[in-house]
Chains A and B, each alone.
Chain A
């Protein structure tokens, strides 16, 4: 799907920054090549195969007008409008500055991004942003974006990543949270093939919350590396997948987290809820690392999957790597089909089959949307989930006989 070298030659003149350095990074990345299933962190996501499927159908943009969102819209990598607000400082994109580690099969996608990043939002937040900031990605051309978001000490912001691009995209988020800063990152992917990577670092008392919702697209790989660097830092990562589609058009949603507790008295809370219909495949790889002397860490990780059809597949690998003793770390995983007893209960209360299934799936995913604190945004995301369940399972008609 993507001939990186040809793509580079094509857009070379438009790329900011040091062209030669980019060419060198690209050559090094190409020498390593796309990760294969033999690479442990890509074991369940066969990138080369998944990238062979074509573009996905065009989807409607999510309407954020009700929450008066600020918008940074990248259409085929070109910034359409620049948001302006108090406490928000946007600087022009100059290429990714810090070069990633030398390419290895594990991090080669970051190197591709470094070589090919054509744009990205470089934003510094000081103070509290009154309205959510939406980063919208649309278009059908291959695109490499590198966003850099920094929150100064005490700053607060809600960020929405609305991904509706129908082609291939490689998106890197570099997020730093100063002391006491709080960031909520809401992610929605409705289409396309996205290889996403985020690096998040948290200073003392900082709070990071990411809530992701995959409702379409044939590839959603969301890899996040979260470092909790000082006491009382707290990270939450929640994800919901509503996978569907048959064979090549099926959703493949992969959440891969590495959560590193580098300091004592830090905490993290991770949950992943997958609803898998058709030939959809859900992947969850979560790794909690507690470094030596990072005592009194509280880390929890939950994976749940609801299988709706014969051809669906779920793979989970929740890992713990603990080097300190005074910790409370736990992970749990449960995979199964729609609870038949629950279904029977609802049917016995007069709901038809479709409504009962709709209600149970909605309730299952509600456990993710409930983490969205902003009421307006929560409403919008619930609407998105509901509409998707409607198209998959039929409408919920509140028990009126069909």
Chain B
């Protein structure tokens, strides 16, 4: 009798344990990148001034022209006002209460190779699923070269030597300034001028690191390049700069990933990405943005105010942006294409998912300047919880852009009756032969679809994830294989707790 009782209570305990694990899986742990790395950091005092800018510049042993460039940007920033037109609402940022430079102490001596990098850092990236040890890459899997940026510095770049054989330059921005100053000086700020907007001016003044890519003429980059951004320190802002140049007839596919620890206070991320595609070159830029979005009550999370712009500078250049946005508390981001060369084309594929109290204001700009230019925009916005998700886009055809073509489709999916979805497209045609098409829809997941999936044995959340993945298919298809799998899982995770 007592034996039976014991086994009963044992069984009960095991069921309880299982339940607890299941709940944990669905509850607090769904942002699995929310850990912090305990590491000695070298950080400057909070606040922004000319001295800080001089300090950052000196720390990176930059040439005088770059320091002057930064100081000029800072001066302009002081005269600018923070933009308020976006459909987002957040408390005023105190720019004097931020730390503008934080780097792991071990990076001080400048490790010569990845072998010398602090194992703690390598462990961090391993935990994030980003192997920085080249040997660890699985045989048979396509190679991906990684530049890992940790707070204000790049901790290492893999496969550099192999890439160098093809003449491809892939390194951190600081190294590029030292080793390829001509290229940097020629292209830096040529797509996104330093005073383009409030956040680019700020970034131009205090940017700390980032990635630099140059693909020589006629080279098809032999592997995917990627940058992984990690914010670790509390109370810091991350201001990185990425510059990708594809010379005539070259091709590169570039991936970008980002995560941050879970913290109660908000952190600022104001990056600038510049792409330059010369004649017949093609750049494919993919982002999976998985910054910490804040908790269910909207506490904490990253403010992501990013300016991304590509310039199809010469004829038949192609630039394609693909983004999966699941993270950050507030997003303000419009990856754009300037279609300057005749016959150039731009593409924008986006999935933006917002849950809880997240706010997204994202979209693109396609500026048609050259003849026979074409652009395509596919945007899928999914809002759940009490979030707000806004697509804001511009398609502009200038008088000389004969035969410009654009197709835009932006669809919004609403999950729950407390969220909001907005669409704000600007369509401007100044040329007779332009052909611009725009479609937008807003709807919810139909009860029929949900019922069908549930009736086949899926639970409500799995069913929603399945349907949403179908809704996003057009965009997911355009992601490189490595990202597509991660992105699909992210879609499911980001929407957890949004139904039932």
Contacts and interface: CB of A to CB of B under 8 A. Distances in A.
Contact of B432 (A295, A307, A319): A307
B429 A320 contact: no
Interface string A289-302: 00011010000000
Contacts of A305: 429
A336 interface: yes
A357 B429 CA distance: 21
Contacts of A318: 423, 425, 438, 440
B425 A328 contact: no
A377 to B, nearest CB: 32
A344 interface: no
A330 B423 CA distance: 10
A328 B443 contact: yes
Interface in A275-292: 292
B360 interface: no
Interface string B430-474: 111111111111111000000000000000000000000000000
A269 to B, nearest CB: 15
Consensus secondary structure, chain A interface: strand
A337 B436 CA distance: 10
Contacts of A333: 425, 427, 436-438
Interface in A311-340: 312-337
Interface stretch (B222-230, B319-327, B412-420): B412-420
B451 to A, nearest CB: 15
B424 interface: yes
A243 to B, nearest CB: 13
Contact of B422 (A295, A312, A319, A336): A319
Given A316-B427, A330-B440, A336 B417 contact: no
A63 interface: no
Nearest to A330: B441
B65 interface: no
Given A316-B427, A329-B441, A330-B441, A322 B422 contact: yes
Contacts of B399: 310
A40 interface: yes
B85 interface: yes
A314 B429 contact: yes
A322 B414 contact: yes
Interface in A86-119: none
Contact of B442 (A327, A332, A337): A327
B90 interface: no
A41 interface: no
Contacts of A334: 436-438
Contact of B417 (A313, A324, A332, A337): A324
Interface residues of B, number: 34
Contacts of B434: 307, 335-336
A267 to B, nearest CB: 14
A162 to B, nearest CB: 31
B421 interface: yes
Nearest to B85: A40
B147 to A, nearest CB: 39
A309 interface: yes
Contact of B440 (A307, A323, A331): A331
Contacts of B68: none
Contacts of B196: none
B422 A293 contact: no
Nearest to A281: B430
Contact of A325 (B416, B432, B438): B416
A111 B393 CA distance: 32
A303 B417 CA distance: 29
Contact of A317 (B417, B425, B442): B425
A287 to B, nearest CB: 9
Given A295-B417, A333-B437, A327 B423 contact: no
B419 A332 contact: no
B52 to A, nearest CB: 33
B423 A315 contact: no
A335 B440 contact: no
11 contacts: A314-B429, A319-B422, A324-B417, A325-B419, A327-B414, A329-B442, A331-B438, A332-B440, A334-B436, A335-B434, A337-B432
Closest 6 CB pairs of A and B: A325-B414, A333-B438, A320-B423, A329-B442, A316-B427, A336-B435
Interface of B: 85, 399, 412, 414-444
Given A327-B414, A334-B437, 12 more contacts: A293-B417, A314-B429, A320-B440, A322-B414, A322-B422, A325-B415, A326-B444, A328-B443, A331-B438, A331-B439, A333-B436, A334-B436
